[in-house]
Chains A and B, each alone.
Chain A
């Protein structure tokens, strides 16, 4: 697949939230406000791209040659968590503005399934390093796009007349399902399959 197709596929067709149903906790947790969604989206773009780069190198330089594939999950989580911790410290000291823009979401997103899923997927798809990074960027941008889209819907939902039985997360899940149905329309174009 060409890099452009990989990007579009990960961004829209195989959108991580609406098509793969991964990373739903931040998707519902912080999508109540447009501004917080933006912070979360930025943090996801940053962490996902970086984590994919590091774990990809680690996988191909250590795990594969040593035949230790069963350690994949443990090693990846360990590396991603400490890496983000390190960068957070560095950013807090040197890039104050960037740090306050991402805020609390930077450490929060480390242990999210979306990040881990992305690092696994690029390995399962047997991508080259460049393609892996494009995939990570597309996936994280897709996440940001969808969470911003959805936060706009939820800000509107707050003022809507909703029956008490459907209030809160219930109506949020139903709306998300409808948006997901809309995204299903992209599935006919092209997509990534193993």
Chain B
């Protein structure tokens, strides 16, 4: 290579690089967008999971529309109260408290409880199986158990249990609702995280139709509606519908349900204990739905621990506050 050619090559490539560098530097200042401070601040407090549950492409897209005032500032379903508070501070608005939610499975019909009607050949995916005669489970409303929710959960909070029912890790679940949207059988729903008791059945069929197909399905007997001391349950479409504003999570319906269709998220429940102050008025005996309190009138009563479910009804009616709720470490009685 001649020195002349080398010089030309270096000059051309170097010159071109220098020129383009200059042009880009100029353009970067000339066309610079005013970086929105709010946008960057919002992005920094967001969870940055980029799950897309808010409907925007990633956390950056959400932050951008919030900064421009287009999106709901509290529209991130993954953010906790602290994050919401920070976003509200950045925008200078009041934060409205929103209850954290978690996804729960509202079907208990696993392999043992609810059999399969036919054998499937080939690839098994909830969405494709659901298209075939509403799925292969005996109950046409049941969870199919092929784990589509497991695949779509961006937080790896769902795993497949032994009984072909997905198990949701309450610690990992952020309540983004992606599994709820994706489930073809609609057997997942979002529940306020503080809510403990819920009905885990979606079948609108009644009586024999349900009992023949599933051993844990609600067959609309209506016992729960009758026993609920707060009238929080109403029978609609052969399913008890719970009014969350009235329900106190006492757990009476859970224990009274003949098919065990209710689920109780409480890890442990307390039990009642009657102190020496008891004068034997008998109010607690009347209110206990589980016959867990015995004793003669005008004498100190006694709680049969094996029968007590810790609903706290006696605790509320005792006129002299002689009843306390004990046990169940970590469970705060509401």
Instruction: Point out residues on A near B: beta carbons under 8 Å.
Output: 62-63, 66-68, 70-71, 74-75, 78-79, 82, 85-86, 89-90, 92-94, 159-163
Contacts and interface: CB of A to CB of B under 8 A. Distances in A.
Contacts of A161: 122-123, 128
22 contacts: A63-B12, A66-B8, A67-B5, A68-B5, A68-B9, A71-B12, A75-B12, A78-B13, A78-B20, A79-B20, A82-B20, A82-B21, A82-B23, A82-B24, A85-B24, A89-B28, A92-B33, A93-B32, A159-B125, A159-B128, A160-B123, A162-B123
Contacts of A67: 5, 8
B7 to A, nearest CB: 11
A41 to B, nearest CB: 18
Interface in B5-39: 5, 8-9, 12-13, 16-17, 20-21, 23-24, 27-28, 31-33
A194 B43 CA distance: 54
A78 B12 contact: no
If over half of B's interface residues share one DSSP class (helix, strand or loop), that class is named, otherwise mixed; here it is helix
Contacts of A66: 8, 12
B300 to A, nearest CB: 68
B234 interface: no
B24 to A, nearest CB: 6
Contacts of A68: 5, 8-9, 12
Interface in B231-267: none
A78 B17 CA distance: 7
- Interface size class for chain B? 20 to 34
B127 interface: yes
A165 B9 CA distance: 52
Give the 7 A-B CB pairs with smallest separation, nearest first: A161-B123, A82-B20, A161-B122, A93-B31, A89-B31, A89-B27, A86-B27
Contacts of B9: 68, 70-71
A78 B16 contact: yes
A63 B13 CA distance: 10
B13 A75 contact: yes
A156 B66 CA distance: 35
B277 to A, nearest CB: 68
Given A93-B31, A161-B122, A71 B13 contact: yes
B5 A90 contact: no
A71 to B, nearest CB: 6
Given A71-B12, A160-B123, 6 more contacts: A70-B9, A71-B9, A75-B13, A86-B23, A89-B31, A90-B31
B13 A159 contact: no
B260 to A, nearest CB: 36
Contacts of B20: 78-79, 82
Nearest to B17: A78
Contacts of B127: 159
A62 to B, nearest CB: 6
A103 to B, nearest CB: 8
A166 B24 CA distance: 46
Nearest to B125: A159
Contacts of B128: 159, 161
